[in-house]
């Protein structure tokens, strides 16, 4: 789909795509229910109450059918509604064979299909309407040239949540597990919830800033981080485009203070939710500027400047939560009311597709004879 082939409300394609999207979620949930010991995240299982799951399943199925019906009515030529009906029927057929209750054996390794389905559903419900009705770049279609690549990044990073979780926590556990932190951690956990949460966000962002800065300044590491900056069409899905090496290293650095400080379970859970939402929001294609709060918290306008291909904005706005951290280290770009004209790596040619982008940093500079690999230019 080209930039000019935009989805138009009333032609049946939007409802068709929505019906297929929801039907796929129902099918994925049904498959997860057949193999919960392998396809569900162990930490989430106790939250899954059978009655709530069935109720949610029926709601999503009903919505999917409703959108499919709307697609049929609005556009008799489209096949999207037909495919959605096939997926709905398959989901219902498979779901009818599920037992009312089943014991789940704990396995040493699982694939987080449930986490993928939940996160993409919640993210889509929040950010697709925002980008559809309040876009910063109205000409940017939802199905731009690189959306499939970004979707692959999103899927893989969520399915491998257990592996990434272990790799992120391992350095902190090895370095600080036997140095007597119990007393210190108890004092931190005794702090009231709100200030403790802001402390968690602050110290984590400090470490995140450091890791992010290093990946910009060291030439070989920039190769990996350049994958994240390679997208020219910034939207809520583009934030997932991060090379595995970059993701693990920076997340591990960000996790260090969380492990050392030993924040309470409620604070840690809230922190994870905030990070997940803000990381997606920062990349969203929306013109919302959040007024005064854009100077307090990182917003899309703030982070889009970090992705700008304008040299004056290189190596600026590294923070993911608080702009004042960049102010502290001299890496703040004054956003004012302006937005970057364009984002990405300028004229740098970068390989397309997940597999090519995964291999590329190990074997080659982003572009030979190009200054993109010189940290002094970022």
Is 304 among the domain residues?
A: yes
Question: Which pLDDT does position 1 carry in this prediction?
Answer: 44
CA distance 5 to 54: 38
Q: Residue 241 burial (CB < 10 Å; 0-12/13-18/19+)?
A: buried
Does residue 124 sit within a domain?
no
Closest CA to 361 of 223, 222, 243, 219: 223
Residues 206, 97 within the same domain: no
| 140-154, 262-276, 277-291, range with the lowest pLDDT | 140-154
How long is the chain?
378
Q: Evaluate whether residue 17 is within a structural domain.
A: yes
Residue with tokens 């009906």: 85
Give the pair of three-digit tokens for residue 145.
Answer: 């040239």
Inter-helix orientation angle 354-363/147-159, to 10°: 80
Query: Do 360 and 351 contact (CB within 8 A), yes or no?
Result: yes
Q: How would residue 4 be classed by pLDDT, with cut points 50, 70 and 90?
A: very low
pTM score:
0.88
pLDDT at 7: 54
Mean pLDDT to the nearest integer, 177-182: 84
Cβ 139 vs Cβ 224: under 8 Å: no
Cα 232 to Cα 223: distance, rounded to the nearest angstrom = 17
Instruction: Looking at the structure, tell me whether residues 217 and 339 fall in a common domain.
Output: yes
Residues 6 or more apart from 337 whose CB is under 8 A from it?
A: 289
333 in a domain, yes or no? yes
Angle (CA) 48 127 292, round 5°: 115
pLDDT, tens only, 74-111: 876 667 888 989 999 999 999 988 877 667 777 778 89
- Cα 111 from Cα 129, distance rounded (Å): 29
Question: Are residues 179 and 42 both part of a single domain?
Answer: no
Report the C-alpha gap between 200 and 263 in whole angstroms.
Answer: 7
33: domain range?
A: 1-110
**CA atoms of 278 and 356, how far apart (whole Å):** 28
- Residue 373's pLDDT is 44
Q: 102 to each of 68, 91, 189, how far by Cα in Å? A: 32, 19, 37
Q: Indicate if the pLDDT at residue 10 is higher than 60.
A: no
Residues 205 and 299 reside in one and the same domain: yes
Q: If pLDDT is split at 50, 70 and 90, which confidence band does 372 have?
A: very low
Residue 346 β-bridge partners: none
pLDDT at 82: 85
Q: Using one digit for the tens of pLDDT, what is the confidence trace for 72-84?
A: 888 766 678 889 8
Closest CA to 240 of 120, 322, 364: 120
Contacts of 215 by beta carbon, 8 Å cutoff, 6+ apart: 221, 222, 224, 225, 246, 249, 250
* Confidence check: pLDDT of 291 > 60: yes
Higher local confidence (pLDDT), 376 or 339: 339
Q: Are residues 238 and 361 in the same domain?
A: yes
User: Tokens in use for 72?
Assistant: 């049929």
Do both 170 and 102 map to the same domain? no
Asked if residue 106 and residue 230 are part of one domain, the reply reads: no
SS3 annotation, 60-120: HHHHHHHHHHHHHHHCCCCCHHHHHHHHHHHHHHHHCCCCCCCCCCCCCCCCCHHHHHHHH
What average pLDDT does range 267-279 have in this prediction? 91
Segments in 177-192 forming alpha helices (H)? 182-189
How confident is the model at residue 162, as a pLDDT? 83
Q: What does the pLDDT read at residue 317?
A: 97
CA distance 284 to 131: 7
pLDDT per residue as tens digits for the range 335-362: 888 999 999 988 888 889 999 999 999 9
Residues 299 and 168 in one domain: yes
On whether both 48 and 177 belong to a single domain, the answer is no
Q: Is residue 134 part of a domain?
A: no
Domain match, 178 and 269 both? yes
pLDDT higher than 60, residue 2: no
Average per-residue pLDDT for the chain: 88
Any idea which of 92-96, 98-102, 164-168, 372-376 has the lowest mean pLDDT? 372-376
Residue 143 counted as domain residue: no
| pLDDT for the residue numbered 371 | 42
The residues facing 343 across adjacent strands are 308
The Cα angle at residue 128 between residues 232 and 284, in degrees rounded to 5: 40
Checking if the pLDDT of 288 tops 80, the result is yes
- Tell whether the model's pLDDT for residue 313 goes beyond 50: yes
| Helices vs. strands in the chain: H and E counts, helices first | 15, 0
Whether 126 is covered by a domain: the verdict is: no
Task: Compute the distance between CA of residue 299 and CA of residue 234 in angstroms, rounded to an integer.
Answer: 13
Number of Cβ within a 10 Å radius of residue 7? 15
- For residue 68 the two structure tokens come to 């499919």
**Do 83 and 168 share a domain, yes or no?**
no
For position 370, what pLDDT does the model report?
A: 47
Q: How many domains does the chain have?
A: 2
Residue 151 placed within a domain:
no
Both tokens of 128, joined, read: 């697709």
What pLDDT, on the 0 to 100 scale, is given for residue 103?
74
Q: Which residues pair with 308 in a beta bridge?
A: 343
pLDDT tens digits for range 201-248:
999 999 999 999 999 999 999 999 999 999 989 999 999 999 999 999
Query: Residues 227, 99: one domain?
Result: no
């Amino acid at each position: 789909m080209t930039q000019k082939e935009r989805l138009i409300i009333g032609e049946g394609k939007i409802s068709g795509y929505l019906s297929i999207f929801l039907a796929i979620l129902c099918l994925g949930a049904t498959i997860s229910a057949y193999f919960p010991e392998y396809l569900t995240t162990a930490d989430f299982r106790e939250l899954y109450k059978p009655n709530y799951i069935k109720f949610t399943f029926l709601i999503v199925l009903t919505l999917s059918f409703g959108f499919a019906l709307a697609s049929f009515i609005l556009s008799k030529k489209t096949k999207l509604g037909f495919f959605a009906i096939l997926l709905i029927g398959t989901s219902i057929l498979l779901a009818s064979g599920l037992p009312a209750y089943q014991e789940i054996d704990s396995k040493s390794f699982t694939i987080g299909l449930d986490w993928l389905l939940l996160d993409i559903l919640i993210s889509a419900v929040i950010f697709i309407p925002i980008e559809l009705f309040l876009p910063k770049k109205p000409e940017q279609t939802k199905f731009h040239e690189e959306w499939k690549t970004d979707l692959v990044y999103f899927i893989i990073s969520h399915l491998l949540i257990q592996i990434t979780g272990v790799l992120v926590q391992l350095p902190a556990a090895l370095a600080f597990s036997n140095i007597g932190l119990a007393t210190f951690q108890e004092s931190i956990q005794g702090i009231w919830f709100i200030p403790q949460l802001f402390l968690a966000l602050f110290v984590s962002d400090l470490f995140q800033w450091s890791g992010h800065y290093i990946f910009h300044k060291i030439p070989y590491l920039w190769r990996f981080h350049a994958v994240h900056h390679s997208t020219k069409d910034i939207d809520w899905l583009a934030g997932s485009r991060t090379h595995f090496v970059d993701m693990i290293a920076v997340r591990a650095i960000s996790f260090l203070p969380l492990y050392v400080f030993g924040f309470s379970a409620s604070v840690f859970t809230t922190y994870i939710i905030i990070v997940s939402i803000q990381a997606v929001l920062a990349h969203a294609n929306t013109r919302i500027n959040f007024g005064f709060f854009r100077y307090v918290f990182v917003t899309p306008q703030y982070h889009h400047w970090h992705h700008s291909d304008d040299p004056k904005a290189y190596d600026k706005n590294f923070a993911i939560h608080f702009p004042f951290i960049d102010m502290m280290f001299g890496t703040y770009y004054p956003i004012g009311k302006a937005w970057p004209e364009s984002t990405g790596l300028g004229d740098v040619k970068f390989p397309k597709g997940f597999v090519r982008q995964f291999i590329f940093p190990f074997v080659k500079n982003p572009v030979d004879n190009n200054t993109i690999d010189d940290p002094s230019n970022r």
